[in-house]
A and B are shown apart, each in its own frame.
Chain A
Amino acid sequence: MKSILLQKQWNWLLSGLMLGISFLLAVVLVKPIGVSTQYPILDGIIWEQVQPGLVTENAENKSGYGSSNAYLNENGGKYAAAIAKPLNYGLVFVLAMILGGFVARVMQRRGQPELYTPSIVSAELNSMRLKRLQRVFVGGFLALLGARLAGGCTSGHMMSGMMQTSLSGFLFAAAAFAAAIPMALHLYGREE
């Protein structure tokens, strides 16, 4: 048990099992996992600081909150409510995810052998050179623009969606891989 918690990376079977347990447990206890919604929520929290009054109480909406922005006002003002009361399930879940990543990293056993052969591509991906930063910035921009248009990301649509056998999850996964594979091959090639 201890070695499982300390090792740098789990083998694929344990990895898959733990992913499956995480997603299943979330549905059983609360609701399917989703992440990308929290990006516009965080945007809204910052926006509200800069321009107070973006989100207001609105008795006509189901959530009791509304916004002058059409997107934040959708679904009965659900997003507006989350911005007005940031300490909600979705945002806390995402903050706990960051903490989980941090603890997993800290608990890594020291002096473990490097799992990856250093290659040209891995050196580039792990660098902070301008080319890497440009790609990670544009990549982040496209990923979240796309996730919001689709109404979910790899977690919400692909994993949570497909486990419920939802049509949207299968469509999303097919589209995401159809773009991601050619993009990765184009930018990083087949070689090392």
Chain B
Amino acid sequence: MKGLDASGDLGLTPQVSRPLLARGLPQALTPVLAATSVVYLVAVTMAGAVLRARRARLSLAVGVYASLTLAACGAIAGIGRVGSTRAVHLHHVSLLQQLPGTDDSVLTMRGIAEFPAFDTFSLRLPLADAMIATASPTTTTDQIVDAEGFPVVTGLFGMAGRQSFAGEAVVRLHPLSISEHGRQVDAANESGVTLRDCRFGRGLSPGRIGTLAPGQSVSASWDAGTAEDEGPSGPLFSCAMDEAPVPLTETSRPVVMHGTTTVVAYRQPVLNGTPGD
């Protein structure tokens, strides 16, 4: 990591920024609320029309109206607690930086969790060597770990409540395999998912690759005069993937991750310092 930092490659890697979310209820809840409201409205209107047309008894009218209102209360209270609405939606922008010469990568994540119901939640990043910092009104940042030592985003949140956080972790994961043979650089997709927006770094051609299917490999060569001589050049190869490398988990609810992870691979830095560096 220090070698990468000294080489300047890290500084030239675009960093993650917090995802932007529009105001309003979460997209997962809005259609359910709209549908429930329409059903309630239609039911009350139809009941009113039928009861008036049939000149129904008062007890029947009261019973029907009370039943419809109670049913609507139950349906609305159930939003975020049953079915697909139970899921916690997590919007993230992540960066997975493969550490050359190791099997590890550094994962940096900025995210916003959207909670589906008024309840206590505990979102866990299931990695021991990780941290999550959340903004708090009382302090600048909070870093909380659960009983097993995993970092968590936890608290009592209202329906559609949001909590932004930043996370960092070291993960044993290398979706990209990079090899250099003379002036040629080979990159292969070793993940199980399709990578998109792939590109080689500065000084390599072709630069833009596009999509890289699982198992597929591509090659590029250094442009004339730009081989191993130059200073910082940034990532050697980068791709974007729609899957989160490490999904967060919640004890009693599913977590749906939305966002993009940028995977970057670097050249093996030339270490000039002592081994202790």
Q: Do A and B bind?
A: no
